[in-house]
Structure 1
Amino acid sequence: MQFAHIRFMLKLLLLTGLFLSGFVIGITIADQSENQTDTLSLDQNSAPYVPGELIVKYKDGTVAALAAEGSGPVALEALGAEVSTDFSSEGLSNLQALDISGPLSVKEAIDELEQSPYVAYAEPNYIISLSLPETEPAGPDDPRALSALSVPNDPKFGEQWGLANTGQTGGMSGADIHAKEGWDTTTGSDSIVVAVIDTGVDYTHPDLAANIWTNSGEIPNNGIDDDGNGYIDDVHGYDFINNDNDPMDDNGHGTHCAGVIGAVGNNGVGIAGLNWKVKIMPLKFLRADGNGDTAASLNAIAYARRMGADVISCSWGGTAKSQALGDAIASTNILIPCAAGNAGSNNDITPHYPSGFDSPQIISVAASDAKDGIPSFSNYGASTVDVAAPGDWIMSTYPSSLGYPYVKMKGTSMATPHVAGLAALLLSKNPSMTPSALKAKIMETVDKLSAFNGKTVSGGRINVQKALGGGSSSSGVVPLPGMSQSPKDLNGDGKFEDVNGNGRADYSDVVTFFKQMEWISKNEPVTAFDFSGNNRIDFTDVVKLFQSI
C-alpha cells in the first residue's frame, strides 16, 4: 500500500469524531525472575508504555477499501500521527505501529481510534520490563560431582540437578527430568532451530558458539540485505529494540536460557544443554537494563516465524493482555513455551501473559525444585499452567563480559527453556510433529507429582526419557525377555521399531522381533508393534520392520 494511502486512511480514522468514555486498561508487566509489580491503569497512574507510540489493528478489508478512496498525499503531521511500522509485511495483516506527536496524546488517539468503524482495537506500545534476576556465580569445577558419570564429560554437569539429580544440591535423588536416560534416544539435531526471544544471546560463548544459528542467505558485513527479508547483515539473528544486527546479550538472562536449551554437550567444557546439538536463534527485544516493548516483541516473533524457527522460547511476561501480542502468537505454527510467572500466585485467578493466551501453540511452564516441589515464587494454575520443569537455582551459561561464564538463576524463566529444549529433542526425532502433537506428547509423559496435583493441567514435571519413548511410559511397552531396556519409538510415529531398546534400529531388532513374536503378541500393546497395520502381530510385521531398516 502506498504511504500516501496510509496517511489518508489515518486521517479518516482520526477525524471520525467519535469519543470513548471510561476506557481503562489494567496492566502489570514484570520479569519472570522477580515478583511482578507496577499495576497501573491507562486512565489513572499512566500505565508503563512508550511515550508517543501505539499499536492499532484495522478490521479486515479496511486497508484496501480506504486505499481505494485515497486521492493523493495527505499531511498527517498536523494531526500528530505517523506510521512507524507496518507489521502487515511481517505476516500480521492490518497491524501497524504509530508515532503520535503534536496535539494528540496516546490516550486521546486510542479513544478516537477505538471508536472508528475501521479499527478492531488500539493499545499503547506497552513496556515489557525484565527485573535483574537473582544470580549466584558458579564455583570451581568439582571433579567428584562427575566421578560416577561417563557421559557427558562437561565438568559442571554434576551441578545440573535438573538433568540428573543425585541429591548433589541437597535435593532428592531422581527428582529430575531424566535427561541422561533420554539421551540414549537422541541428543538433538543441528537441523532444529530454537528462537530465544529475550535479552539476546552471547553467541561467542565457548559453550554456545557451535550451536548458534547462522542465516545462510546473508553475506556478513557487506551492508546489503542479501536475502531480502528486510534486515541487513542479520547473520546471527537481530536486535529489535536497538534496531541493529547485533543480538549480543548485555544483560545475561537470554544467554542463561539459551544454555539450558542448547549448550554444546559432551565437549569437555562447562555444562551440557538439553540438546547437545541444536541451532539457537538469538532475537533481542530487551535492552541491557531489561526494558523492551511490545512492538519489538512482535517483530521478533514475526522474524522467528519467517526465518524458520521450529520452537520459540519466551521466558518473560506479566499481567498485561496485549491483543497485538496474542495475535502475533496466533499467527505462528510453532510451539511456544512461555513462563508462568514468579508472583507465587494462581494464574486461574490473576491471568498472566503471554503464557495465559488461549492459543494451542502455547505451553505454559511452572517451576519445580530439587525435591520435586513447587517453589514459593512459581505461579501455578489448574487450568492455565500446563507443566512444571526445573527452575530453582539452575546452572547455565552467562556472558563472560558480565564477569562470570556460568551462573545459577531461579525462576520460571529457567523452567521454560527446559520445555523448549525437550520440544527440540522431540523434533530431532520426528521433524514433522505439529505444535499440538508436541504439546500433547510433553504433557502426556510427565511424572505425576503430588506438588503439582491441582496446580497444573498435567499434574506433573516433564520427563525427557518418557517423552522420547525410552524406558517405561504410558505406552505400556516393557522389555522383551533377555533385554535390559524397553523398546523405543525412535521417530515418534507410535511404533517401537527399536525392539531391543539399544537406542537404534538395525537388523538385530528384526531378529529379536521374529524370535519373540508370540511373546510380543501376548505381552505388548499390539498397536506398538503392528508395523503392517493389519491389527495383529504376525510375519508381515517382521517384513515391514525389515524394509523400514
Structure 2
Amino acid sequence: GEVIVKYKDGTVAALAAEGTGPVALKALGAEVATDFSAEGLDNLQALDITGPISVKEAIAELENSPYVAYAEPNYIISLSLPETDPAGSDEAGDFSALTFPNDPKFADQWGLSNTGQTGGVSGADIKALKGWEIAKGSDTIVVAVLDTGVDYTHPDLAGNIWVNPGEIPNNGIDDDGNGYVDDVYGYDFINNDNDPMDDNGHGTHCAGIIGAIGNNGIGVAGVTWKVKIMPLKFLRADGTGDTAASLNAIAYARRMGADIISCSWGGKAKSQALGDAIASTNALFPCAAGNEGSDNDKTPHYPSGFDLPQIISVAASDAKDGIPAFSNYGATKVDVAAPGDWIMSTYPTSLGHQYVKMKGTSMATPYVSGLAALLLAKEPSLTPAKLKARIMDTVDKLPAFAGKTVSGGRINVYKALGGGGSTPGVIPIPGMSKPPRDLNGDGRYEDLNGNGRADYSDVVTFFKYMDWISKNEPVEAFDFSGNGRIDFTDVVKLFQSI
C-alpha cells in the first residue's frame, strides 16, 4: 500500500500533494506519507495508497504523468539471517603464541589473525596484527551502521559509540534542529523513535567487527580499535524493513557527517530511490554481495550492484582463503572478499549472549568498513572513490576469487595502510621484469616473479636462482624456513605455503 515517487525537476511536489498540481494524488486515493525533499532528496516522496486503486495501478498512473521521473513500490527489505553459534560469557579461545591484543576471544577471530586455529590455513587473514603497527584508528571517523540497531551499552562497544554533540538527552527538544528529538545515539527509522537499540543481534554483530574496542581485556577486537559507530536502525527485530526507512537513515547519516555507511543487507529488487539516495552522499558504502551462492553478474543484487563510485561490493572468504558456498560473487559486480565464515563478534546482552559467531556476507562487509575507517584515520583526505581503489588495489590475490570478483582477492589491512612494499635491496630476479612482492604482509617475498600471485612458478624460480638470491637479495626477505640462511628448506616451505 505504499509507493515512492520522484517528480521531475521543476515540478512543485507540494502542489501535487494538495491535488491541485499536475499530478492529482487525491484522484488516486493517495496521500503523502513522507517528503524526502527535507532530507536533501529533492522532489522525492513516499505515498500511502488509501483508495481502491492497487499499488501496481497507482504506479502505472503516476508514470504516465509527464511530471513524474519514476514511481516504484516501497520495497520490503529483509535480512537473510545468518546462522549463529553463541559463545559462553567465560569462553575464551586458546591464546597459543598470541598475547596481543589482550582481548580474551581474540584467538577466535581467525579473520584478523589466522594461525589455523579453526582448522583453516595459517595466514589466511586480513593481516590485522601488522596493520595495527601502522594505525589503530581514530574517534574522529564516523561509521554509520544501517541495520537492526546497535547495543550501544555493550561493554565492548560503548566507548566507541557515536554521540550526537548537538543534542541534550531526554529534554524532549530537537536541540540541533535536525528534525529528530533526543537522537543522542542515532535513530530508529522503522519504529520512528530515538532509541536505535538492537533487538535482533545482526547490527551489533556487524558493529563489533568494525569497531569493538581493542586491547581492553574483554571480548573481541574490531578491525579499528578507535572509531565512532553511529547506530541507525531501519530493520525490525524480525529483520524486515523497507526502502523508505532506509532512505531516511541514509539522509540522516549524510546530514550528521558519517564518513562510511555500512550496509550488510540487500536483495534482488532494484530501487532507483535507494540508488539516488546513495549517490547523494559523499561517503563510502561497503555493501554485502548476498548469501544465495549466485553470480551477481547474472542475477543482480542491490544495493551492492548499483554502478556508483561510493559502493564497494563485498563477498565472503573462509578460513582457508576459499569462497564459502553461501557467498555471492561476480567478476564485474562484486569488488572484494573479506572474512565471513563463522566470525566471532559482539551481540546484544539482552538477547542472552554477549558474543556469538555468525556467517554471511553481512559479516564480510564490516571488515571492509573497518578497514576504510583505519585508512581515513591515517589519510583523512581520501575520497570514497580513492578509498575504494586503495582497498581493491591492495588485496591478496587468491585463486578462489580469480574471475569471481573485480579485484580477484581478499582485503589486506597491512598493505592498504602502506605496509608490504618493497624492502630496500629487493631487486628483480634474472629474467624477471618486476621485483618480488610480499603478498600477505609477513615480510617474506613469496611472489618471486612479481606477477601479483604466488604459484608454483615462484617455487621453480626460487629453486633455479637460489644461489643468486643468497648473494644478491636480503636474506630475511626470502628465508621462509626462518633458519637465517637461503637453502633447500626455504624451497620446501615456499612450496608448502602455496
Query: What range is the shorter-chain TM-score in?
Result: 0.7 to 0.9
Q: Does 1:384 align with 2:333?
A: yes
8 A contact 1:53–1:125 mirrored in 2: yes
Structure-1 residue corresponding to 2:43: 94
Q: Deviations over 1:48-103 (max 9, x none)?
A: xxxx2110000111127968x9979x996564211111111111111100111123
Structure-1 residue corresponding to 2:125: 176
Q: 1:133 is paired with a residue of what secondary structure?
A: coil
Structure-2 residue corresponding to 1:367: 316
8 A contact 1:188–1:276 mirrored in 2: yes
Structure 2 counterpart of 1:294, which letter? T
Correspondent of 1:228 among 167, 177, 185: 177
Matches within 5 A, 1:499-510: none
Distance across 1 between alignment mates of 2:313 and 2:182: 34
Q: Does 1:330 align with 2:330?
A: no
Q: CA deviation at 1:131?
A: 4.0
Q: Does 1:413 align with 2:362?
A: yes
The change in CA–CA distance for 1:71 and 1:260 in structure 2 (over 3 A counts) is: closer
Distance across 2 between alignment mates of 1:125 and 1:178: 41
Matches within 5 A, 1:135-534: 135-139=84-88, 145-470=94-419, 472-473=420-421, 477-479=422-424
Structure 2 counterpart of 1:478, which letter? T
Q: 1:234 is paired with a residue of what secondary structure?
A: coil
Correspondent of 1:134 among 74, 83, 89: 83
Structure 2 counterpart of 1:328, which letter? A
Given the two structures, how large is their TM-score scaled by the length of structure 2? 0.83
Structure 2 counterpart of 1:397, which letter? T
Q: 2:46 is paired with a residue of what secondary structure?
A: strand
Structure 1: which 5+ residue stretches go unaligned? 1-51, 487-522, 524-549
8 A contact 2:262–2:287 mirrored in 1: yes
Structure 2 counterpart of 1:252, which letter? G
Q: Percent identity?
A: 82
Distance across 2 between alignment mates of 1:128 and 1:70: 30
Q: CA deviation at 1:134?
A: 0.8
Distance across 2 between alignment mates of 1:205 and 1:391: 22
8 A contact 1:301–1:328 mirrored in 2: yes
8 A contact 2:34–2:45 mirrored in 1: yes
8 A contact 1:141–1:156 mirrored in 2: no
Distance across 2 between alignment mates of 1:433 and 1:211: 22
Structure-2 residue corresponding to 1:4: none
Q: 2:12 is paired with a residue of what secondary structure?
A: helix
Q: 2:75 is paired with a residue of what secondary structure?
A: strand
Distance across 2 between alignment mates of 1:65 and 1:262: 42
Q: 2:56 is paired with a residue of what secondary structure?
A: helix
Distance across 2 between alignment mates of 1:479 and 1:284: 49
Structure-2 residue corresponding to 1:106: 55
Q: Deviations over 1:416-455 (max 9, x none)?
A: 0000000000000011100011000000000000000000
Structure 2 counterpart of 1:81, which letter? A
8 A contact 2:93–2:104 mirrored in 1: no
Structure 2 counterpart of 1:286, which letter? L
Structure 2 counterpart of 1:440, which letter? A
Structure-1 residue corresponding to 2:485: none
The change in CA–CA distance for 1:450 and 1:225 in structure 2 (over 3 A counts) is: same
Q: Deviations over 1:354-407 (max 9, x none)?
A: 000010100000000000000000000000000000000000000011111000
Distance across 1 between alignment mates of 2:92 and 2:365: 29
The change in CA–CA distance for 1:408 and 1:278 in structure 2 (over 3 A counts) is: same
The change in CA–CA distance for 1:234 and 1:142 in structure 2 (over 3 A counts) is: closer
Distance across 2 between alignment mates of 1:113 and 1:223: 39
8 A contact 1:325–1:354 mirrored in 2: yes
Distance across 2 between alignment mates of 1:323 and 1:154: 43
Correspondent of 2:7 among 58, 61, 73: 58
The change in CA–CA distance for 1:391 and 1:195 in structure 2 (over 3 A counts) is: same
Q: CA deviation at 1:130?
A: 1.8
Name the count of aligned residue pairs: 427
Q: 2:313 is paired with a residue of what secondary structure?
A: strand
Deviates more, 1:57-66 or 1:261-270: 57-66
Distance across 2 between alignment mates of 1:398 and 1:144: 17
Distance across 1 between alignment mates of 2:96 and 2:35: 56
The change in CA–CA distance for 1:88 and 1:479 in structure 2 (over 3 A counts) is: same
Matches within 5 A, 1:1-16: none
The change in CA–CA distance for 1:242 and 1:225 in structure 2 (over 3 A counts) is: same
Distance across 1 between alignment mates of 2:89 and 2:177: 46
8 A contact 2:89–2:354 mirrored in 1: no
Q: CA deviation at 1:253?
A: 0.2
8 A contact 2:143–2:259 mirrored in 1: yes
Structure 2 counterpart of 1:54, which letter? V
